[in-house]
């Protein structure tokens, strides 16, 4: 059965929009206080194109989501999340199994790393996305284990020192705060788990 793209789109967008203030507060501690606004603007633009997106097959739909985020999200996170969704759209088959998702996510992470010239442990969204992709590829992942891992990895960015993005300008003062992009990635992963498990 193909994934329920309509619910995935609606729930991911709704959760990100609802978390705008929280994400902006995180970004005000170690950035320029716009991550929540950026993401909200991006996902409102995605919802504005909802009908056109849902008329497309999964791959094309995800590419459109990615292109919309690139165009509408200001800041570093727009091109980065845009690259993530566009690559997922390119790599995922119409009816993906967990192994397909793991492979596509690894491909998207490689593209994201190249785009942002970043790596793991730089205190970015990659520190949530990477471990989740590896976990999915390892076999035996459950919705609960994916949710727990994403939350744990977002929390694990707190003691990290930022090496990439605006937060890196703060040097050691970036330590002690959760990375906003890690938190937005966690929120999206949790939303996807909730929809696929039938909880949302």
Binding site for ligand ADP (CB under 6 A): 27, 31-32, 34-35, 38, 75-77, 80, 116, 118, 124-126, 164-166, 179-182
Between 84 and 195, name the residue whose CB sits nearer to ligand ADP.
Answer: 84
Gap between the Cα atoms of 166 and 150, Å rounded: 23
| Residue number closest to ligand ADP, CB atom | 181
Choose, by CB under 5 A, the member of 26, 30, 31, 91 that binds Mg ion: 31
Smallest separation (angstroms) from Mg ion to the CB of 32: 4
Distances (CA, A) of 94 to 32, 50, 51, 65, 73: 38, 18, 18, 16, 27
Q: Which does 76 bind (CB under 5 to 8 A by kind): ligand ADP, Mg ion, none?
A: ligand ADP
State the first-to-last Cα distance of the chain, in angstroms, to the nearest integer: 18
Residues ≥6 apart with Cβ < 8 Å to 75: 32, 34, 35, 38
Query: Is residue 95 at the binding interface for Mg ion, with CB under 5 A as the rule?
Result: no
Q: Which does 42 bind (CB under 5 to 8 A by kind): Mg ion, ligand ADP, none?
A: none
Query: Is residue 79 at the binding interface for Mg ion, with CB under 5 A as the rule?
Result: no
């Amino acid at each position: 059965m193909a994934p329920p793209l309509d619910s995935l789109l609606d729930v991911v967008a709704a959760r990100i929009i609802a978390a705008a203030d929280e994400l902006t507060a995180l970004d005000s501690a170690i950035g320029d206080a716009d991550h929540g606004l950026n993401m909200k603007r991006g996902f409102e633009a995605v919802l504005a194109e909802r009908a056109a997106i849902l008329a497309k097959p999964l791959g094309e739909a995800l590419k459109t989501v990615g292109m919309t985020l690139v165009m509408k999200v200001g800041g570093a996170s727009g091109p980065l999340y845009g690259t993530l969704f566009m690559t997922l759209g390119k790599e995922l088959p119409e009816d993906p199994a967990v192994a397909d998702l793991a492979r596509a996510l690894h491909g998207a992470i490689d593209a994201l790393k190249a785009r942002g010239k970043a790596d793991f442990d730089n205190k970015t969204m990659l520190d949530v996305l990477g471990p989740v992709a590896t976990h999915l590829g390892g076999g035996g992942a459950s919705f609960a284990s994916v949710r727990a891992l994403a939350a744990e990895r977002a929390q694990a960015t707190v003691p990290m020192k930022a090496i990439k993005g605006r937060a890196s300008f703060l040097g050691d003062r970036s330590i002690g705060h959760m990375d906003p992009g890690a938190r937005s990635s966690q929120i999206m992963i949790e939303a996807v788990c909730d929809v696929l498990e039938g909880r949302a």
